Structure 1
Amino acid sequence: MADTTKEPTKEEEAAAIAKEKAEQAALPYKWSQVIEEVTVIIDVPPGTRSRDLIVDIKRNSLVVALKKSADEPFISGQLYSDIKVDDSTWTLDDQKEITITLAKVNKMEWWPHVVAGAPKIDVKRIQPENSKLSDLDDETRSMVEKMMFDQQQKQLGKPTSDELKKEEILKKFQSQHPELDFSQAKFS
């Protein structure tokens, strides 16, 4: 079966980027993300006070609206992925802008949109910010280091860490059992 997927032309890519930018610009909020959190910024009428707002942040949904026009929220819907509510915050800056920070549960994925039904971005085009491995917690750092090693090994046509581990186990087993003949064995 032939591969029917083809790389987009430069013109198609440029058109897709322009369409994405236009769709994102039309949203009543601006948003950005880093691997561990999503930030949503909403302009509100000058002089808005926190008591004038409805900001409802839940594990898998978000609602932000002015109380006087709650039926026309700035943003409302099912979040792309679950968040840590206790680590998520919102602030009203200078009585004219709401900044919401949503702490992702899955810190290894990029969100194509904030809420369901919103226009999506192409997450394959995201260029992650440079960060230091030392900035990461131990578990995440070891996972990232393993992924980086495996990616480098694949590019060089060499075995990944899992494949090396299997080879090591096999060598150890063979050294403990020299009486066995592995010359015809097939491993996958």
Structure 2
Amino acid sequence: MAEKLASEKRHSFVNGGQKVFEWDQTLEEVDMYIDLPPKVPKKLFYCKIQSEHLEVGIKGNPSYLNYDLACPVKADSSFWTLEDEVMHITLQKRDKGNTWSSPVLGQGLLDSYAADLEQKRLMLQRFQEENLGFEFSQAQFSGTCPDPRTFMVGIS
């Protein structure tokens, strides 16, 4: 079911007309995707994930990304891999259900419409997790969407 509620497309952070990275999120994770430059040995790439900071680059060069994260993460549960010329970074959200408007602080923020859609999608994902056996993929919200972190708290 989570696949049905996954973002239909990745969000892109573009700077100066060039794609810096793409990203998407679930209730628990934010995934970033960075296209790697060709002909650079994979062993030269690095990624340093801290609870509130991310640094990515090629050893011996200035960092490609060096930003504070938009929200704190569980650094010891976060990781990165290199797959088919793409660096895939998985950031484990410290606060499950928190809707991020960007992975990095102040850069590539979603516009208000996209942020609202993202919050609604995560709310549907939360409904599905907490109500196994029910189908929510076609559900729609009218009005303001509740915060996915706190909506079901205290309901039994």
Above 0.5 in TM-score?
Answer: yes
Residue 48 of structure 1 deviates from its aligned partner by: 3.6
Assess, with a 3 A threshold, how the Cα gap between structure 1 residues 46 and 124 changes in structure 2: closer, same or farther: same
Partner residue in 2 for 1:57: 49
Describe the superposition over 1:82-123 as per-residue Cα deviations: whole angstroms up to 9, x where unpaired: 1011111100012x1100000000112111111123121132
Describe the superposition over 1:9-52 as per-residue Cα deviations: whole angstroms up to 9, x where unpaired: xxxxxxxxxxxx7x734441111111211000000123444421
Partner residue in 2 for 1:140: none
Q: Distance in 1 between matches of 2:60 and 2:87?
A: 16
Unaligned runs of 5+ in 2: 1-10, 133-149
Select the structure of larger CA radius of gyration: 1
Partner residue in 2 for 1:128: 121
Q: Distance in 1 between matches of 2:63 and 2:51?
A: 22
Q: Specify the code of the residue in structure 1 equivalent to 2:152.
A: E
Partner residue in 2 for 1:101: 90
Q: Distance in 1 between matches of 2:52 and 2:106?
A: 14
Q: Distance in 1 between matches of 2:68 and 2:22?
A: 17
Q: Distance in 1 between matches of 2:153 and 2:95?
A: 18
More strand by share: 2
Q: Specify the code of the residue in structure 2 equivalent to 1:111.
A: W
Unaligned runs of 5+ in 1: 1-20, 137-142, 150-160, 162-188
Normalising by structure 2, report the TM-score.
Answer: 0.64
Partner residue in 1 for 2:7: none
Residue 146 of structure 1 deviates from its aligned partner by: 4.1
Normalising by structure 1, report the TM-score.
Answer: 0.54
Partner residue in 2 for 1:24: 13
Higher relative contact order (CA 8 A, sep 6+): 2
Q: Distance in 1 between matches of 2:102 and 2:30?
A: 10
Q: Give the alignment partner of residue 84 of structure 1, picking from 62, 69, 74.
A: 74
CA RMSD of aligned residues (A): 2.8
Q: Distance in 1 between matches of 2:75 and 2:50?
A: 6
SS of residue matched to 2:30 = strand
Question: How many residues are matched?
Answer: 119
Q: Give the alignment partner of residue 31 of structure 2, picking from 28, 39, 47.
A: 39
Residue 145 of structure 1 deviates from its aligned partner by: 3.4
More helix by share: 1
